[in-house]
Amino acid sequence: EIVMTQSPATLSVSPGERVALSCRASQSVSSDLAWYQHKPGQPPRLLVYGASTRATGIPARFSGSGSGTEFTLTINSLQSEDFAVYYCQQYHQWPPFTFGPGTTVDI
């Protein structure tokens, strides 16, 4: 099973700041990496797939990068609606598909 780790666990930031969230895989997942945003009371939302491709309707301030075992989700000019938990997920090797433990972005 591929183990995903994320850092930091929690990030306290102010609106307008730029943040970089890290995701690491225990072995190479090539570019088979997705990022999801999860807000309380809502289902998660797909942000990025293929490590760097924004999903439909996702604002340009979200960008993904990386390949192999190291990935980053960058949010430029954080908006109030961006405060949420962010998960990475690998879909390179399964079963099982595996998620990271999440990074909470809060004020």
Which positions lie near other proteins, rule CB under 8 A?
1, 32, 34, 36, 38, 42-46, 49-50, 55, 87, 89, 91, 94-102
Extract the tokens encoding 72.
Answer: 């980053």
- CA atoms of 66 and 88, how far apart (whole Å): 12
- 32/82 with CB nearer other proteins: 32
State the minimum distance, in angstroms, from the CB of residue 105 to other proteins: 15
Extract the tokens encoding 5.
Answer: 């780790």
* Sign of the dihedral defined by the CA atoms of residues 16, 38, 8, 33, in that order: negative
- 16/57 with CB nearer other proteins: 57
